[in-house]
Amino acid sequence: MKSFFKVRTVEEVLAIIGGFSPLEAESAALSDAYGRVTAEDVRAPEDVPLFDRSTMDGYAVRAADTFGATEGLPALFELIGEVSMGRSPDFELRPGQTARIWTGGMLPPGADAVVMLEYSRPVDSVTVELARPVAPWENIIRAAEDVAEGQILIPHGRRLRAQDLGLLAALGLGRVNVVRTPRVAIISTGDEIVPVEASLQPGQMRDVNSYTLAGLVRAAHAEPRLTGLIRDDPAALKKAVSQALDSSDVVIISGGSSVGMRDFTVEVFGSFPDSEILVHGVSVSPGKPTIMARVGRKVLWGLPGHTVSAMITCDLFVRPLLSRLSGKKNSGTGWGKTVGAVLARNVPSVHGRQDYVRVRLEENGDGSLSAIPLLGKSGLISTMVKADGLVCVGLNEEGLAKGVQVEVALF
């Protein structure tokens, strides 16, 4: 029987992942840039806004002229015009004068505030009463108040959010330099695996891993490519991996990574020129027989065939790698948000490995959360559906006791 090459800890695998460099940069249209990572600092080419503008419908005034105005003793103003939307005013306010202005309108020269419409009362066609005082620059966004020319708007390595795209649009930047999206080929292996549409025969199982792994890859802002099913045949597997390497940055094989006479993954990975086996076994459960290899700048993963193991190891290792390749500086693990909860019952573990326990969250009467372990073998996809997240039992812990506070990594 084969032995594992060298079982590594989770931290050691993540350290290896941290040594990979981002993919090359490319220019992307704003419509295609959501979720992409900036390849350089983005600086403002101009001020935003370019002019002082109103945040209210109302009347542009000189703030000093409104001092002392009340409902009982409003101030009278000469109405000299209206600010047209999208145009520069062709007049200047002098003491005692006002102009009608709309939200977003450009403040006319001489004005330094806006009185809201509800505090106004027309007297005649050229006179208006304003019944509330305003301070200088009240109800105004000043030029460059939002963004100043030359300011770093978005730093290098930021994953672009909706608000980031809005800011770039406000500055007239229709394109942005981002890191290329990683392309990920997904191969499912096993003589017993059949397409999802197939009618099952005795001994067969439908292909689950292609779709769960593709979902996790999409969640990592990468592009999954389902390459089909491969039987337990070294020649067929090598051909599939070779074709996948030609068009993808990362290749994931699910199945064929455990010790056994039909497990050809390591041999196939090692058969490529300049290949290097980086990981063959991780001190984690589920997912110990995980394999990681490098072929040039391409990365090969051999994940366990059991669906729970494949999903957990993909989240633990593949998603941080994809984050790294896409330009993120600190990838961490695939999980983001965590919540605190009280463990509902004892969880046993084995010293020397990191256990990930599926849990369901339940709200208690006092607003706190209980984490209820979901027991089940690593081939049971329903346990992942019922679970809200995972609790980690540390490498040197021999289980967790009922009632302890735990951090739940949410799916």
Q: Which of 265, 271, 234 is nearest to 252 (CA)?
A: 265
> What is the structure's pLDDT at 264?
81
pLDDT of residue 331: 56
pTM of the full structure: 0.81
pLDDT at 367: 87
Mean pLDDT for back-to-back runs of 10 residues, the chain (411 residues): 66 93 96 95 92 97 96 96 93 97 96 97 95 97 92 93 94 95 95 89 91 95 94 89 96 73 76 92 90 95 92 94 89 72 92 91 92 85 92 90 94 87
pLDDT value at position 283? 93
The beta strands (E) that lie in 83-231 are given as 97-101, 113-116, 120-124, 127-130, 140-141, 152-154, 175-179, 183-189, 193-194, 205-206, 223-230
The pLDDT score that the predictor gives to residue 259 is 52
